[in-house]
Structure 1
Amino acid sequence: MKALISALLLACLSLPAWALDAADQQRLNGIQQGWAHIQYQLPAEQRAAAFEQLATQTRAFTQERPALAEAWIWSGIVTSSWAGAQGGLGALSKAKAAKADLELALGLDPKALQGSAYTSLAALYDRVPGWPIGFGDADKAEELLQQALQQNPEGLDSLYFWGDHLYRQGRYGEARVALLKALQAAPRPGREVADQGRREEIRALLAEVGKKIR
């Protein structure tokens, strides 16, 4: 896997550096909105199949725009969400593929989408089983989340995943502070469905944190 990532990264770096143009942005917006619809508006039993279809779009995006970090970030996000929707050990191969996409994105541009690759990769390390089954690693997740917060200290997602990580580590007071701060994050234009869904997740997690603090 590492050899494949290195080869892809070398190939991409040999191409001209590309920034998002209007067509890329429109394509990215469509993927983001599609992800939010699946994640927050579809019944749970329909999500795996829907994410599989969306993954076909994100994979095409990476193939057509291989030097675009944003394409790899969203390929990783969609693939990891597909893995989560599928569940079980059978999802581990998808989690590994998502990890490779996000690592490639970081190699291309760690600042892309305000460091979103750090956040999404950290979430994988937090949720995937550890050795010998998978690559899960809470210490690695924390390192990546700290880098994400350096890039986007006021971001909805970066603060949510930081709060979630702290909750998983039993650091409930710190988790509560992070999650309350996340609720104050500025709205993201065009991502209203994602913002609403994420805020609902934050409130649900805050309720769980409250139970632990009492």
Structure 2
Amino acid sequence: MKKLLKIMCIVMATWISTNLQAEELAADIVYLQTRWAEIKYQLPEKEQEKAFDALVSEAEKLRASHPQEAPYLIWEGIIRSTYAGAKGGLGALDQVKQAKSLFEQSITLAPDAMAGSAYTSLGSLYYQVPGWPLGFGNHKKAEAMLLKGLSYNPEGIDANYFYGDFLLDQKHYQQALQVFEKALAAPPRPGRESADEGRRKEIERGIAAAKKHL
């Protein structure tokens, strides 16, 4: 269950690499992504599960009010995925299954929403969730989704980070290092300073892990 415990402690989420300016997003989406980053990167780990539980409820209500708008589905999925990482254990599987469904619905509605981040988010689930019979993990599907996410946002910090982490997981260390370095060079996202700072720390850890095997 190590991968399930790891989920979205890596996940994202802000799993989202987008070129949209913060002011172009709905105010409630900006709130969700800002609150997500505060919990993930600023709260002590022991306080995160309860905080994410509350944020899941808020995200679910917002999504119910905007059922045909992909960003609301994506952000509820991201928050549920990160909540699963904070929660851990078999009880987290229900959260990642709901997240998977939300990402799939988002792709059906608008595959290019938020720079294709639903593909990146779904791909990260596929390589971190256990496979059958416990979960739906599948490395081939993971790579396909991650590459699709990169096709929408080839320079994005999250799209490159998660593909690099997948390559690290698959022991492709040299390729992982190259992708991590590209992620580290990604342009900053206005309004996402906290998320960018936290993600860069994760990238640096990934680079160090890859170099240990080279």
TM-score (norm 1): 0.88
Larger radius of gyration: 1
Matched, 1:65 2:57: no
Aligned partners of 1:43, 1:69: CA distance in 2, in Å? 30
Aligned partners of 1:81, 1:90: CA distance in 2, in Å? 13
Aligned partners of 1:106, 1:83: CA distance in 2, in Å? 21
Aligned partners of 1:123, 1:145: CA distance in 2, in Å? 7
- 1:100-130 CA-partner distances (Å, limit 9, x unpaired): 1111111110100000100111111111100
- 1:28-50 CA-partner distances (Å, limit 9, x unpaired): 11100000011111111111111
The corresponding residue for 2:136 is 135
Q: Which runs of 4+ in 1 moved over 3 A?
A: none
Aligned partners of 1:198, 1:149: CA distance in 2, in Å? 17
The corresponding residue for 2:209 is 208
State the one-letter code of the partner of 2:128. R
CA 1:63 to 1:179, structure 2 compared with 1: closer, same or farther past 3 Å?
same
1:1-214 alignment, distance < 5 Å: 25-213=26-214
State the one-letter code of the partner of 1:62. R
Aligned partners of 2:126, 2:24: CA distance in 1, in Å? 32
Aligned partners of 2:82, 2:88: CA distance in 1, in Å? 10
State the one-letter code of the partner of 1:205. G
The corresponding residue for 1:7 is none
State the one-letter code of the partner of 2:95. K
State the one-letter code of the partner of 2:30. N
State the one-letter code of the partner of 1:83. A
Aligned partners of 1:99, 1:136: CA distance in 2, in Å? 11
- 1:54-80 CA-partner distances (Å, limit 9, x unpaired): 111110111101110000000000000
Aligned partners of 1:32, 1:108: CA distance in 2, in Å? 21
Aligned partners of 1:150, 1:182: CA distance in 2, in Å? 14
Paired residue secondary structure (1:62):
helix
Higher relative contact order (CA 8 A, sep 6+): 2
Return the structure number with greater helix share. Answer: 1
State the one-letter code of the partner of 2:143. E
Give the alignment's Cα RMSD to 1 decimal.
Answer: 1.1
TM-score (norm 2): 0.88
Aligned partners of 1:104, 1:127: CA distance in 2, in Å? 20
Aligned partners of 2:59, 2:185: CA distance in 1, in Å? 30
- 1:6-46 CA-partner distances (Å, limit 9, x unpaired): xxxxxxxxxxxxxxxx7961111110000001111111111
State the one-letter code of the partner of 1:102. F
For this pair of structures, how many residues does the alignment match?
192
Q: Which runs of 5+ in 1 are unaligned?
A: 1-21
Paired residue secondary structure (1:134):
coil
The corresponding residue for 1:13 is none
